[in-house]
Amino acid sequence: MIKNLLNPGNYPKNINIVLLLIRMAVGVFMITHGDDKFLKLFGEEPIRFADPLGVGVT
């Protein structure tokens, strides 16, 4: 089963190009999603964590 999951297959060239474009688009979306979080980590403001239950320091 693992061999089937890791096998890239023997697809035509146009399908490989479409898969590459989809993977690149998903990667760009993930980078833009995490960009703000990464910049906030090294920003000037202190990091504040969510406290949905109200048990944190006040």
Give dist(CA 36, CA 33) in Å, integer. 7
Ordered by start, the domain boundaries in the chain are 11-41
pLDDT of residue 1: 64
pLDDT of residue 24: 95
pLDDT of residue 29: 92
Tokens, residue 56: 């944190």
Give dist(CA 33, CA 50) in Å, integer. 18
Q: CB under 8 Å to 41, separation ≥6 — which residues?
A: 47
Say if pTM beats, i.e. exceeds, 0.85. no
- Give the pLDDT confidence of 3-27 residue by residue, as tens digits: 777 777 788 889 889 989 999 999 9
pLDDT of residue 27: 93
